[in-house]
Amino acid sequence: MDVARFKYPPHWVQLSKLRDAMLTVDRDTGKPRGYMVIKLRDHTRPLILFYLKADVDSHKTEFVQTLNEWQVFLAASKLADDKEELKLVCSTFERLFANYAACEMRGRCGDEADCCMAKEMSACCHNVCQHVRSTIFIKYITSPAVVALLLAWPLEETSDRAIALKKLIANAIKNFDSDSNNEIGLLRTQIEVISAECAECDVSK
């Protein structure tokens, strides 16, 4: 079974057990659970090249603190100089999230030079990484995985800094192809899910 791969590893089950599980009756509908066929949009591949490496069960306290620090930074006043503001945003984001940004190909991007550009990578992965590397953020962030995380970060327009950053990101990804946009969308969904779980952990304290 293919599960939420950023939290649990995939695993094998016997076909008989899978069949029996699908035949169990749902109490609300009175019908067998069955299965669902999900199809990707045309010309879109199910890549997860970059991902957020955050185990909220074992590191939730640390990650919640990181999220809170990022929110405090976003709420602060932005610098008047746009270039200096961009440098500050990038350096802050990399400092906070470098340990959580990962690349499927060889662990965390940045561990080895051009790790995402290795010859054995598929053309699609190569293309996605090229798009990420083409953005303005790569000038100030050394790891493509961290850049991808920033591009995918769900930002609320609650401050001048957040609004400006959201516009920069939108401009950076406007020319991405379908595969690269799909990658950013998958990463954004992962961030939203894990952030929501962290928020619940924080509230329950």
Beta strand spans in the chain (E) = 50-52, 101-103
Domain boundaries of the chain, sorted by first residue: 50-203
Q: In angstroms, rounded to a whole number, what is the distance separating the alpha carbons of residues 61 and 125? A: 33
CB 155 within 8 A of CB 173: no
User: What are the structure tokens assigned to 13, written together?
Assistant: 């089950």
Taking alpha carbons only, the member of 173, 178, 195 closest to residue 46 is 178
Q: Which of 59-73, 96-110, 135-149, 170-184 has the lowest mean pLDDT?
A: 96-110
Task: Map residue 51 onto helix, strand or coil.
Answer: strand
Confidence at 116, pLDDT banded by 50, 70, 90: very low
Position of tokens 């079974």?
A: 1
Percent of residues, the chain, with pLDDT higher than 90: 38
